[in-house]
Amino acid sequence: MGMQSSGMNKTGKTRTVAIGIQDFGDLIRKNCFYVDKTNFIRAWWESNDSVTLITRPRRFGKTLNISMLEYFFSNRYAGQGELFEGLSIWEDEEYRELQGTYPVISLSFARVKETNYKNTRDKICEIIRNIYIKYIYIKDSETMTVADREFYDRVLSVGVGDGDVTSALYQLSDFLYRYYGKKVIILLDEYDTPMQEAYVNGFWDELVSFTRSLFNSTFKTNPYMERAIMTGITRVSKESIFSDLNNLKVVTTTSEEYATAFGFTEAEVFAAMDEMGMPEKNNVKCWYDGFVFGGVSDIYNPWSIINYLDTGKFNTYWANTSANGLVGKLLREGSSRIKESFETLLAGGCITTILDEQIVYNQMDSNEEAIWSILLAGGYLKVVESGAFIEEGVESWQETEYTLTLTNMEVRFMFENMVKGWFKTESACYNDFIKALLLGDRKAMNTYMNRVALSTFSYFDTGNRPSGAEPERFYHGFVLGLMVDLRKRYVITSNRESGFGRYDVLLEPKEKADDAIIIEFKVYDEEDEKDLADTVSAALNQINEKNYVAALMDKGIPEGKIRKYGFAFEGKKVLIG
């Protein structure tokens, strides 16, 4: 892909900035811009961990690092040490001798993005079949028995059964061990991509049992494995797919290990900008800095940096790439509390929560901590501070509480666009509602609000409850929409203390000419109110009782420039008074 801009490297040769090359050998041979991450090889090898799982956000160099490990260890690249010349790992005699000395099984689930179980299983079988084809030369060696060759053929066949395919990597480790007399290194990139698709598309349980068998035989009971590394975005809970895998070392974004091995440090980014003659360091920091891994802050997302070095333009490069589907679903269908916290984040604030870093996908609907954990693992949130707090009466038990905020400007723009997208199907009516609200045209507000509610209501439901059972999910989503669309003209706040089935929003104008607006949302309560008009009156009473007008008048807004609205909801029906 594009290689327009260039700069000089230490050897005086011009380096090109290449977008999207994930093959380490290609990158080095073509003299492309590359930040030396070979220290990761040394750190990983010296850790002596049997199986390592590393989670990092997408586009953070995981695939390139896996490719680097393959080029370094695999005997298919024996004698290609020159690729590592001039890089940190090559200064070390002991490592120069290690290069190209192991059989390596390297696979990636990055392309497994199917929407049902059958196609997902087929795709995984195809990936394993391709590895078997790559090593077809060992099938006829004298180290193989007749039964081994029959097994090999079964794995190569399209109708391979679960028993054969889930033990295929285990068996291949054995075959390679006998052929080369050396245990294998197994590299699995993007192990959780199929998991995320299974969750979003509703075939989680089927996929879990298949994956568990595959992972247990490959990583747990495999005496022919030297060691293994897996990468992904999330840490899928141990119970679901790594059960009994007690040799697993897990490194998440809050762990100290390998903190600078993925992503670029500020020093690396600024050095690259100097090499390219690009001065705008402060802007680059605002847009792309903000990732924190373990105790190391100021990590930049490499995908955006490389695109910026290439084009010289600020844009949402990382945030535009693919997989925001899961994140969108979690926020859109999230409870009112999640949307309220999200309002705080969009307004530039922080939220404080405990994290559950083991993601149990099938409990996500009910577990708020899991949602913040996914957003943190995905790189959309960063840790501002963390500290242990001790539960009352439980002396020995400490839990860490994390204060989180949006990672950077790029992420904020991404979320704003996502929220706008929620109302896209009805964008004409939605925009007309906004205009009517600004003009104070109550009749038009009623017309358009009802159309928007009717067509987008069920979009905010989780599907577990009948549509309309929880209008709060809709109107909290709607308030997020107002925040995004009106943020240039209004400071929008909401009162967190409001009671069940109620919610209020204050729009404070940035310009003197505009009116201030107070909105109280209230769900119709058949015990207290005979119709929606009653609910509107109750909502307006609420505004007066809470004396919001005084708070706005204290800021110098005259009473005549404060409008009050009650929005009454009954299912998808809305009445504005």
> Taking a C-beta distance cutoff of 8 angstroms, is the pair 347, 182 a contact?
no
pTM of the predicted structure, to 2 decimals: 0.83
Q: What is the pLDDT of residues 220-259, one digit of tens each?
A: 989 999 999 999 988 887 777 887 777 899 999 889 999 9
The token pair at 568 is 């009454």
How does residue 291 score in pLDDT terms, banded at 50, 70 and 90? Answer: very high
Degrees (nearest 5) of the Cα angle 411, 415, 416? 115
Q: What is the pLDDT of residues 517-564, one digit of tens each?
A: 999 888 888 888 889 999 899 888 888 888 888 888 888 889 889 999
> Taking a C-beta distance cutoff of 8 angstroms, is the pair 362, 199 a contact?
yes
**How far, in Å, CA of 288 to CA of 305, rounded?**
7
Provide the mean pLDDT of the chain.
87
Q: At what angle do helices 336-346 and 409-422 cross, to 10 degrees?
A: 130
**How far, in Å, CA of 518 to CA of 492, rounded?**
10
The predicted structure's pLDDT at residue 12: 46
Q: For residue 216, what is the DSSP state?
A: I
In total, the chain counts a number of residues equal to 577
pLDDT at 362 over 70: no
How does residue 435 score in pLDDT terms, banded at 50, 70 and 90? Answer: very high
**How far, in Å, CA of 88 to CA of 202, rounded?**
45
> Taking a C-beta distance cutoff of 8 angstroms, is the pair 504, 518 a contact?
yes
CATH 3.40.50 residue spans of the chain: 36-251
The predicted structure's pLDDT at residue 13: 54
> How many other β-carbons are positioned within 10 Å of the β-carbon of residue 252?
20
The predicted structure's pLDDT at residue 8: 40
Which helix (H) or strand (E) segment holds residue 399: the answer is strand 398-406
Q: Among 317-321, 404-408, 520-524, name the one with the lowest average pLDDT.
A: 317-321
> Taking a C-beta distance cutoff of 8 angstroms, is the pair 12, 320 a contact?
no
Instruction: Please give the average per-residue pLDDT across 476-488, as a whole number.
Output: 87
Q: What is the pLDDT of residues 454-478, one digit of tens each?
A: 888 877 776 655 444 577 788 888 8
How does residue 5 score in pLDDT terms, banded at 50, 70 and 90? Answer: very low
**How far, in Å, CA of 265 to CA of 426, rounded?**
43
Burial class (CB in 10 A: 0-12, 13-18, 19+), 420: middle
How do 6-8 and 14-16 pair as beta strands? antiparallel
> Taking a C-beta distance cutoff of 8 angstroms, is the pair 533, 539 a contact?
no
Percent of the chain residues past pLDDT 70, beyond the cut = 90
Degrees (nearest 5) of the Cα angle 330, 335, 340? 100
Residue with tokens 């509703």: 202
Residue with tokens 């799982």: 53
Q: Which residue has the higher pLDDT, 465 or 269?
A: 269
Instruction: Please give the average per-residue pLDDT across 386-413, as a whole number.
Output: 74
The token pair at 498 is 């409001």
How does residue 377 score in pLDDT terms, banded at 50, 70 and 90? Answer: confident
pLDDT at 1 over 50: no
Q: What is the pLDDT of residues 54-86, one digit of tens each?
A: 999 988 999 999 999 999 999 999 999 999 999
The predicted structure's pLDDT at residue 55: 94
Q: Which residue has the higher pLDDT, 391 or 209?
A: 209
How does residue 35 score in pLDDT terms, banded at 50, 70 and 90? Answer: very high
What stretches of 323-398 show up as alpha helix (H) in DSSP? Answer: 325-332, 336-346, 368-377
pLDDT at 144 over 80: yes
pLDDT at 149 over 90: yes
The token pair at 30 is 């073509």
The predicted structure's pLDDT at residue 224: 98
Instruction: Please give the average per-residue pLDDT across 477-494, as a whole number.
Output: 87
The CATH classification number of 36-251 equals 3.40.50
**How far, in Å, CA of 281 to CA of 104, rounded?**
41
pLDDT at 357 over 80: no
**How far, in Å, CA of 217 to CA of 49, rounded?**
18
The predicted structure's pLDDT at residue 398: 60
pLDDT at 367 over 90: no
